[in-house]
Structure 1
Amino acid sequence: MILRQINMIQMRWNMDITMVGIDYTDAGLDIRGKFSYTKREQEKTITALRKKEGISGCILLSTCNRTELVLSRTREWEREERSLFCELKGQSVEEYGSYLHLRRGMDAVKDLFALAGGLKSQILGEDQILTQMKDAADFSRKFFGTDKILETLFRMAVTAGKEIKTNINLPSSNRSAPLAAISGLEQKGAAFKGERCLVIGNGAMGKLTAQLLLDRGADVTVTIRRYRSGIVDVPVEAARIDYSKRYEKLRNAAMFFRQRQVQTQQSRRINWMRVRCRRIRFS
């Protein structure tokens, strides 16, 4: 029903959807990193894309596992999207085009809905992607990057993602590495209230870990690295220290959390959460 509605919208407005990007199934972190975006880079890219003939709207999703550019195109669009995707980051399509995936029309719509449901994630059904997609749409809207079709598409995708998580019993009940690690400790009787916890890393996974610990009443400190954007996004309730001082904080921490990335025999890169307990209190 939802896909039929999107198809009717496309026909009515004479637009088409294109989704071009790179994710953990396409390439390792070293290649994906060449196409990652800071917030300031996203702002400049969205502004530039909206000025190009044939582009009615754009949303750019950039996470540790993927970068996706979703475009709504008019009849005037004549560019090849892989070439555009590489050009935006100053990379050569001849060198990196084979790492990229490209989907158009209903294939792009279906892929976006699967993404929102956590069905394209390393950890099946993880919740974080819903927030990331919503944030990406909000950010594009802030700089006038969205149009009616993308607004409708992302709203429906997020709604569908919520329905998937509510109505489908996915194999994994812990839908993110941080939640799996923390829930595993709780199943063993761990209590976090009042415990000093150090989270190493202030990326998306670090932010989620810190918030989960804060929700459980822990005394949380997050290590901070300064990125080119100058933007640091961690829960306001958490204390912050420079990454270089992490060993000093470790002396007094009951436990620390650190995201790791490992290579499997099937050449897939997976994230897992390393937890080291020093003085953990069990109930």
Structure 2
Amino acid sequence: MWVSFLAVVLIGALVALAELVSRYRDNPAGALWSVPAAFYVGVNAGGAAAALWTVTQFGWTFGAAGESVTFTQVLVAGFGSGALFRSSLFNVTAGNQVIGVGPSAVLTVILSAADRAVDRGRARIRSRGVGEIMGGFPFERGADALFHYAVAALQNFTPAEVKVVEDRIASLRSGREATLPEQVKSYVLGLSLQALIGEKVLRELVESLRPAFEQAPPAEQVLLDALRANGKSELRKLQAMSGLQLFEFSRVLDGLVAAGRVAVDGGSGEEIASLAGT
């Protein structure tokens, strides 16, 4: 009998480990090597053992017969303990909430608390690492390059994952996060990418891109960055923000307008420049 309980405990622990690995893909080993993670695994393993005890006490065979009964009971208890102990005997409606009464009421709280503790621990480590990696990285000039570099470097990005990062970059540029300081935007971008590619890959990609952004940006990029950061701008203010001489500013602006990348509206003396399509 002890062999059955040992096997079911191992299965329950493996199921918990798989859950944690799927949640913290940027550094699964780092997430697992913590006290909250050990507690999470222990609770799941204990739940599997309790499920096997329940199965044997009630004599449930799940349609098996002969020597396969024990094997079937171990598999069902090991892989099905989560469903068993997350179930509710009945539901109680309190206001707008439906509260399950049963084993799930206790186990869900315990597992959620352990999961949040793991997440908080990982948050401290991730934020510290991203602060070191993304420090000084220019968001406006480098976000697109880093994103496409990361997508090209890894072969298993799903369209949904790519869309999440694209939406985050768009929100940082023109959404509700657009007012954040540029360095904070770089940190947010780094955290978003790190969740998909991991800290080591992110560090290598950023370091390989830094030399390209340490050079002075071309005049066209200066104007585009100023418009992305400030939205629509009067031409006089835009020139001041760009730091370009009037002749150079006019030449670059005319080229961007001709290329369809910048639009200029308004009468003489009150002309407003904006990115095309905004």
Calculate the TM-score normalised by the size of structure 2.
0.23
**Larger radius of gyration between Structure 1 and Structure 2:** 2
Q: As a proportion of its length, which structure holds more helix? A: 2
